[in-house]
Amino acid sequence: MTAKKKARIAMIARFLIAIAVLVVMLFPVYWMVTMAFKPNVEWTPTTGETFWIPQDWTTANFTRLFGIQEDGAASFLVSTPIDAMPSIWHSLIASIGGTLLALLAGVSTAYGISRFKAGGGALPFQILQLRMFPPIAVIIPILFLWTYLQLFDTLIGLILIYGAVTFPFVVWLMRSFFDEIPREIAEAAIVDGCTPFGAFRRAVLPLVRGGLATTALFVFILNWSDFLIALVLTDANTQTAPVFLSQLRTAGGQEFGAQAALAVILVSLPVLISIVIQKHLVRGLTFGAVKR
């Protein structure tokens, strides 16, 4: 067998393996999306056949989320109306708020560490240590603390905890983006007359736009998908969407269809955001600034 033929077979094999892996990974997503559009009949088919593709597409599951009752929504017995809107709202506010808080604190910390070696060698590691505690290990003490501070079941409380928990990620990610910017760019701006903060804002920050967008998106996803913290630290007043989803059962039983539909909605938001900010996720902004 010639080297060329061997190479071709290897390439095809690699391709097939990649396809197999892709199928395995994407199947749950596929299933979830199709489930959201299936009517009750196809959820619990009496004939025992599996509906790989919904035959009777319906949006009843989605409308059910917002209080509208229709035939065909997938649950054992359609009974009391449910409203997912408040929980989605809470999720949005808490996630966005937490992300902004983490960014505000984290970006300036990261710049301080990168440019001025703030905190000596120890600070970056100490910040990272914060995140080494899995939240589940400290969530009970935090519950006590939050209750004491009267932050339990408040949006402010959620925003604060989300910000704190994702702050180390922001520092960690942004620090490496700042490290790539040569210090002379900020210095050139200073020599041109900027204050150190002005130099940061006008000369350096525009260069890490891509990194900032990536970090913001990453942190937002972390907050948006959080289940544990919200479960413990909220109650009826500020319930977030993931918690709402997990508790979606009425007298009629577990609302599979509504759950699938809500899941689809929740997953699609980060995807949409990524598409919108796509061009900011492009690297290569610093090319040409310095000699290599």
Partner 1 sequence: MADITITGVSKKFGDIVALNDLNLHVDDGEFFVILGHPGAGKTTTLRTIVGLEQPDAGVIQIGGQDMSGVMPGERNVGIVFQNLALYPDKTVYDNLAFPLRQKGREVSKQEIDQRVRGAAETLRISALLDRKPGKLSGGERQRVAIGRVMTRAPEVYLLDEPLSALDALLRMEMRSELKRLQHELKRTLIYVTHDQVEAMSMADRICVLVQGAVEQVGTPSEIYDQPRTIDVARAVGSPPMNLLPLTVDRSQGLCLRSTTVLFNGSADQNLSAITDGDLVHLGVRPEDVVIGGDAASCPFTARVMAVEPLGSETIIDLDVQGVIIKGSVLPTAQFAPDESVRWGVRTDRIHLFGADGVSLYTAAGQAHMTAAAP
Are the C-beta atoms of 251 and 77 separated by less than 8 Å? yes
Rule CB under 8 A: say whether 191 interacts with partner 1.
yes
For 220-227, the CB contacts below 8 A with 24+ separation are 220/95, 220/96, 220/99, 220/270, 220/273, 221/270, 222/165, 222/166, 222/169, 223/94, 223/95, 223/98, 223/99, 223/162, 223/166, 224/91, 224/95, 224/266, 224/269, 224/270, 225/266, 226/162
Quick note: the x/- pattern for partner 1 over 266-285, rule CB under 8 A, is ------------------xx
Residue 121 Cβ vs partner 1, minimum distance, rounded to whole Å: 13
Rule CB under 8 A: say whether 122 interacts with partner 1.
no
Looking at this protein, which amino acid is placed at residue 95?
Answer: S
Are the C-beta atoms of 50 and 25 separated by less than 8 Å? no
The window from 72-80, 125-133, 153-161, 184-192 that contacts partner 1 (CB under 8 A) reads 184-192
In the complex with partner 1, which residue's Cβ is closer, 206 or 252?
206
In the complex with partner 1, which residue's Cβ is closer, 192 or 235?
192
Rule CB under 8 A: say whether 185 interacts with partner 1.
yes
Size of the site for partner 1 (CB under 8 A): 24
Rule CB under 8 A: say whether 189 interacts with partner 1.
yes
Residue 239 Cβ vs partner 1, minimum distance, rounded to whole Å: 43
Six-digit token string for 145: 């603390």
Rule CB under 8 A: say whether 287 interacts with partner 1.
yes
* Options 118, 190, 267, 277; binder of partner 1; rule CB under 8 A: 190
* Options 203, 241, 243, 262; binder of partner 1; rule CB under 8 A: 203
Residue 112 Cβ vs partner 1, minimum distance, rounded to whole Å: 18
* Options 6, 192, 271, 282; binder of partner 1; rule CB under 8 A: 192
Best CA proximity match to 36, nearest among 12, 5, 61: 61
Rule CB under 8 A: say whether 120 interacts with partner 1.
no
Q: How many Å apart are CA 237 and CA 155, to the nearest integer?
A: 9
Compute CA distances 125 → 121, 171, 258, whole Å.
Answer: 8, 10, 43
The window from 65-73, 82-90, 115-123, 187-195 that contacts partner 1 (CB under 8 A) reads 187-195
Looking at this protein, which amino acid is placed at residue 4?
Answer: K
Compute CA distances 281 → 45, 76, 133, 213, 218, whole Å.
Answer: 45, 44, 30, 6, 12
User: Footprint of partner 1 on this chain (CB under 8 A)?
Assistant: 182, 184-185, 187-194, 198, 203, 206-207, 209, 284-291
